[in-house]
């Protein structure tokens, strides 16, 4: 089974992925951040490095999806291949941070990969407002994230909302800025209840 977590930068995807993998004994697959050779460059000069960064993430997540398809384990994935193509890349192009030529090239590559990809059995969307995202980004103190623009986060949020408004597969929306699942056991328990209810419906 394939579970995935989607959401904006700083919303808590990796934290929730770790907590759910521990609770359910699922195998976690994390986003390639620490070994990403483009992240620092991207936040210093988004226009120059946007295409390189997106291709790196696309390749990384396609490999993850291939591994998931081969695995007999239940795997929980931190961010999906769909977010790269339907949220981050078009947002960069719309903001003038990726050329139309690069974006079309990227999209052609994604469409080829998408033909080999199945959607997750459950996609969990962590939704949050911008002030909460900014607070969390600042609190985790990643140097390369210090230059993230507010308008960049806002546009990503808008694209996430549009994506999930049209997403036809099984998904669950969690209002992350209204709960503290990391430090409050009852809040985490509410998420567990929602997941259990959703997954039980898959096997009826």
User: Residue 95: which domain range?
Assistant: 2-202
Looking at every residue in the chain, the average pLDDT score rounds to 91
Q: Which two structure tokens, joined as six digits, stand for 61?
A: 């997540």
pLDDT value of position 138: 81
Torsion of CA 23, 25, 27, 29, to 10 degrees: 10
Which residues are designated catalytic? 78
CA angle 72, 63, 161 (to 5 degrees): 95
Reduced to 3 states, what is the DSSP secondary structure of residue 36?
Answer: coil
Q: What is the CATH number of the domain that holds 187?
A: 3.40.50.300
Rounded CA separation 203/170 (Å): 13
Taking 50 as the pLDDT cut, the residues of the chain under it are: none
pLDDT at residue 34 in the model:
66
* pLDDT of res. 15: 94
pLDDT tens digits for 133-168?
988 888 776 766 766 788 889 999 999 999 999 999
Residue 152 DSSP SS3: helix
What's the domain count of the chain? 1
Instruction: Identify the residue whose tokens are 């597969």.
Output: 169
So what's the pLDDT on residue 140? 75
Give yes or no for a contact between 11 and 136, defined as CB atoms under 8 angstroms apart.
yes
pLDDT at residue 150, rounded to an integer: 87
């Amino acid at each position: 089974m394939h579970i995935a977590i989607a959401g904006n930068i700083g919303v808590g995807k990796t934290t929730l992925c770790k907590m759910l993998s521990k609770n359910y004994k699922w195998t976690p697959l994390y986003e390639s951040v620490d070994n990403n050779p483009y992240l620092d460059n991207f936040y210093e000069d988004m226009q120059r490095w946007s295409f390189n960064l997106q291709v790196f993430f696309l390749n990384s997540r396609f490999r993850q999806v291939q591994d998931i398809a081969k695995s007999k384990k239940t795997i929980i994935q931190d961010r999906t291949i769909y977010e790269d193509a339907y949220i981050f890349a078009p947002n960069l192009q719309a903001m003038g941070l990726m050329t139309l030529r690069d974006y079309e090239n990227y999209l052609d590559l994604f469409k080829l990969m998408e033909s080999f990809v199945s959607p997750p059995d459950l996609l969990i969307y962590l939704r949050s407002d911008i002030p909460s995202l900014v607070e969390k980004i600042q609190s985790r103190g990643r140097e390369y994230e210090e230059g993230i623009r507010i308008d960049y986060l806002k546009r990503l949020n808008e694209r996430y909302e549009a994506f999930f408004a049209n997403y036809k597969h099984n998904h669950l929306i969690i209002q992350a800025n209204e709960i503290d699942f990391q430090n409050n056991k009852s809040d985490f328990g509410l998420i567990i209840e929602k997941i259990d209810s959703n997954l039980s419906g898959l096997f009826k």
